[in-house]
Amino acid sequence: MTPGAVDLSARSWRTGAGTLSLERPLVVGVLNTTPDSFSDGGAFLEPAAAVERAWRLVEEGADVLDVGGESSRPGAEPVAADLEWRRIRPVVELAPALPIPISVDTTKRVVAARALDAGAAILNDISALRFDPELADLAASRGAGLVLMHMRGEPRTMQDDVAYGDLMGEVRGALAEAVRTAELRGCGRAQLVVDPGLGFGKSSRGNLELLARLPELARLGLPILVGPSRKAFIGELLGLPVRERLEGTIAACVMALVGGARLFRVHDVAAVRRAVDLAEEVRRQTAGRAGHAVISSSAGTD
């Protein structure tokens, strides 16, 4: 399959706020209301700062706002559901006023239920239903979008073992099983998005392999979300601290778009928005020229 010719059969995503078109790439703005996230821990812990950040991400061009109250950085310890909810509540309660849907990054059914009650439209589960399969029941009954992400182990231990026999094969197999679980619990395929989990139980080279082999994940026939934003693998490969990883983030997003990704979860929304919009235009031109070449070739045969 040539670059730009990735199958984009999954062209929409059904969420609690309606159906989102994937004809153009969607940028998912990250908002961590935690004291210990790897990139911006503590910056938006206070409600006023979190609310201000939410509106700034909208202004920068985010299509979805993803808010989380529990850090999932390597080595992170879990937090109680009540504390997680208190951290994200001020942002989630903005839902009726925001022009874009809110996604909640949680693995806990009780937090997810409160968020949906307050107006959230999407559940982002980094465990792909391993921690709490009832998240799928909740998504099914509420009509919420559901992101299923691959992670080996849990955040506290996920980097202890990053060796795989066939990395993409194992990631795709685990996500296919999560999709089956979600469907058995009542979710429609139109509600589901898969995420290969860059940085979650993978080596730096493993993350590059996932990006290079992304078209294999596209064979699941579901929209793909990637989250390379400011990740450690960018810093390790380029020798850069967290705050200097924007260019690496953009490069990873563009390569993921070429490989079939349609959703990009990032901190730097404005810059990534511009980059993926331009890359999408190039992808369309490439696909169009390839199709024209096939038609011309066929027309010349007798």
Q: Does residue 71 form part of some domain?
A: yes
Q: What is the pLDDT of residue 41?
A: 54
What is the mean predicted confidence (pLDDT) over 192-209?
Answer: 95
Backbone torsions φ then ψ of 31, nearest 5 degrees: -135, 105
Q: What is the pLDDT of residue 78?
A: 80
In three-state secondary structure terms, 279 is: helix
Q: Which residues pair with 122 in a beta bridge?
A: 103, 145
Q: Which residues pair with 193 in a beta bridge?
A: 147
| Both structure tokens of 161 | 């073992």
**Domain count along the chain:** 1
Q: Is 108 a catalytic residue?
A: no
* Contact by Cβ (8 Å): 199, 151: no
What are the pLDDT digits (tens) for 2-14?
444 455 557 999 9
What is the spatial distance between Cα 250 and Cα 262, in angstroms, rounded to a whole number?
A: 14
Going by pLDDT thresholds of 50, 70 and 90, the confidence category of residue 124 is: very high
Q: Does residue 2 form part of some domain?
A: no
Q: Does residue 1 form part of some domain?
A: no
Catalytic residue among 14, 87, 109, 231: 231
What are the pLDDT digits (tens) for 20-79?
999 999 999 999 998 755 555 566 778 899 999 999 999 999 999 999 999 776 666 788
Q: Does residue 152 form part of some domain?
A: yes
Domain extent, residue 287, equals 12-299
What are the pLDDT digits (tens) for 65-114?
999 999 776 666 788 999 999 999 999 999 999 999 999 999 999 999 99
- CATH number at 257 reads 3.20.20.20
Question: Where are any strands of DSSP class E within the chain?
Answer: 12-15, 18-21, 26-32, 64-68, 102-105, 122-125, 145-149, 192-195, 225-226, 263-266
Catalytic residue among 108, 172, 265, 273: 265
Q: Does residue 158 form part of some domain?
A: yes
User: In the predicted model, is pLDDT for residue 147 greater than 70?
Assistant: yes
Q: Does residue 136 form part of some domain?
A: yes
Q: Does residue 7 form part of some domain?
A: no
Is the pTM of the predicted complex or chain greater than 0.75? yes
